[in-house]
Amino acid sequence: MSSTDDLLRAIDDAPRGSGVLAIFDFDGTVIDGYSAEVAYRDRLRRADIGLDELIRTGSAALEMALRERDVHRLMNVGIAHLAGRTEDDMRAWGTRLFRERFAAMIYPDVRRLVAAHRRAGHHVVMATSATPYQARDVAVDLGFDALACTVPEVRDGVLTGKLETPALWGPAKADAVAAYAREVGADLGQAFAYSNGAEDEPLLALVGRPVALNPDGALARTAHRRGWTKAHLAAPQRGFGIVSTARTAGAVGALLGAVGLGVTTAALTRSRRTGANLVAAFGSELALTVAGIDLRVTGAANAWSARPAVFVFNHQSSLDLAVLGAVLGRDVTAVAKQEAAHDPRFMPVGALLDVAYIDRADRGRGRDALAPAVDKLQSGVSIVIAPEGTRSPTPWPGRFKKGAFHLAMQAGVPVVPVVIDGAGERMWRNSLIAHPGRVDVTVLEPIPTDDWTLDDLDERVEGVRELFVRTLGLD
């Protein structure tokens, strides 16, 4: 059984360039689970499936299981009941499922494999029997060059209920990949192919470098008999587990204890900043330790070399704030919308951390709206902001908003990028549970804003975002 490092070495040892194809199956290979099941359950929850479709789908699935039929009849039944849906609505549905479910199902080590192929200049293809509405957003997020999938027929922007192409399953998928290789002039003898299921034996037999990735029993036996590479990847860490849940509860308790100590210290010393510093540094480090988070920091000196500053970070997890507290240590606060100042759930934390409240609703006020945050910076307290504005479902940073950068320019302080790698794997954006493991943080060099202007701000902001992309190895 090969390890992920063995697979990465095989990629590094292979010829470089776009003449080498790397073909990945989707369900069970790129994601831990099956997208059709997720899509079907979502429609059931939303009462979007009638009795007739329920019966026909169940019959087709039973026939597939008992008579070992292929997926074509099941696909035809499913597509037939989507007749009349607009393609725009289907794409929006797929994007929502990606953000809510599929992004959390991607194997972390598949990201490493795809990134390694891209660094080698290989042509990376996803080949799947799924529809584009299930697979496209995952393919785009991972940086695939092409997507070969089962395509529904669309007329005037509306699904007809028929298939434009046969379902890409079994031999049909292998035939489609062979045709694509001829089209782009690739040598399949040099190609890689990754799949978990026995139905993809024709595809794996087609290439010179087949990999049975997370193989089912039948494929594992075939791979053993034919001498194909086999590997099992660690599944994404999601949901509740006894150890993870206990450690998370302990971490929350430790953080609440630190908050209580901070409040007491602030009252005794009559210094809210002293109490806040105690919570940020001591409380954050203690909570991460109890949760089993191994924090590795590169460029720690950059967190202290130019204060006060506006620290910008990529936001993917609820762990991020604890990570930032441990890395930045003291004399740091955040900004929040003005309405939060009256939210009883946030008021105690906001009061202790001396949060800067700004009126985000009144965009016409411009400089005046940022005045509370500017005052904090000019008093020597740094500000930490997630320029994406919300948590991203994947490691890719979203579009950066300009507020943090306007703030740095107005206060005359530098911008310091803090790149967090791995927090989303330890605690996904919608999760309540943290899982033990490593989180890497890189604090980049401070970026002066003295010569920035409103005319070049868009370019400056995009330049900072590109620093995150490169540091995360996503370019």
Q: Mean pLDDT of successive 10-residue segments in the chain (475 residues)?
A: 93 95 97 91 80 60 51 72 91 95 94 95 96 96 95 94 89 95 95 96 97 96 96 86 88 84 84 80 88 95 95 92 90 77 60 70 60 88 90 90 93 97 88 91 97 94 96 87
Cis peptide bond prior to 108, omega within 30° of 0: no
Strands (E) in 204-314, as ranges, are 209-213, 229-231, 293-298, 310-313
Residues 6+ apart with CB under 8 A from 396: 141, 469, 474
**3-state DSSP assignment of residue 294:** strand
Q: What is the pLDDT of residue 66?
A: 44
Q: CA of 129: how far to CAs of 26, 149, 150, 217, 379, in Å?
A: 8, 5, 5, 20, 59
Q: What is the pLDDT of residue 72?
A: 67
Output DSSP code: residue 301: G
Distance CA 379, CA 353 (A): 14
What are the b/e assignments for 100-120, b being 16+ CB within 10 Å?
A: ebbbbbbbbbbbbbbbbbbeb
Q: Judge contact between 228 and 206, C-beta under 8 A.
A: no
Q: Judge contact between 15 and 181, C-beta under 8 A.
A: no
Q: What is the pLDDT of residue 459?
A: 96
Distance CA 240, CA 259 (A): 26
Q: Judge contact between 447 and 414, C-beta under 8 A.
A: yes
Q: Judge contact between 329 and 403, C-beta under 8 A.
A: no
Task: State the Cα torsion 178-179-183-189 to the nearest 10°.
Answer: 10
* Coarse DSSP helix, strand, coil percentages of the chain, rounded to the nearest 5 percent: 50, 15, 35
Q: What is the pLDDT of residue 282?
A: 82
In single-letter form, the type of residue at position 453 comes to T
Q: Please give the structure tokens belonging to residue 172.
A: 């049909």
Distance CA 25, CA 174 (A): 11
Q: What is the pLDDT of residue 73?
A: 66
Distance CA 475, CA 471 (A): 9
Output DSSP code: residue 382: E
Q: What is the pTM of this model?
A: 0.83
